[in-house]
Amino acid sequence: MSHIDSATRDRIRELNDAFRKGERPDLGRVVITPGVRELVAAWPLGELGVYEAVQRFGDFTEDNDPNGEHDFGAFDHAGKRCFWKLDYYDLTLEYGSEDPSDPSLTTRLLTIMLVEEY
């Protein structure tokens, strides 16, 4: 995303956090890659445990969040490094969103993946 004003960036971050934490599931969809599905298949909490790790993530720094949107994170699960990332699409998931700060124009897609699947 190109340069945006701080109010727009703050709104995007607010929406991203609300969706990622499960407070606003209406804002998007969650996708777990085949590698993560395989990794968690034998664990008691399975995919739920991985999603909870994403919900609890709060280690945002200048290095992993240079735009201040809280749209990416990394964590370890079952000895493997996992990434999660948020992308912004139009409501049909066909094109990029015109304005990720406007939930009436945007569907967030949260992808949880193994590092090697990135």
Digit-coded pLDDT (tens) for 60-87: 999 999 999 999 999 988 788 999 999 9
What's the rounded Cα separation, in Å, for the pair 3 and 9? Answer: 9
- 16 near 71, Cβ under 8 Å? yes
Greatest extent of the chain over all pairs of C-alpha atoms, in Å: 45
The upper half-sphere exposure of residue 10, i.e. CA atoms within 13 Å in the direction of its Cβ, equals 3
CA distances from 69 to 22, 39, 43 (A): 17, 28, 31
Q: What is the pTM of this model?
A: 0.91
Domain regions of the chain by residue span: 6-117
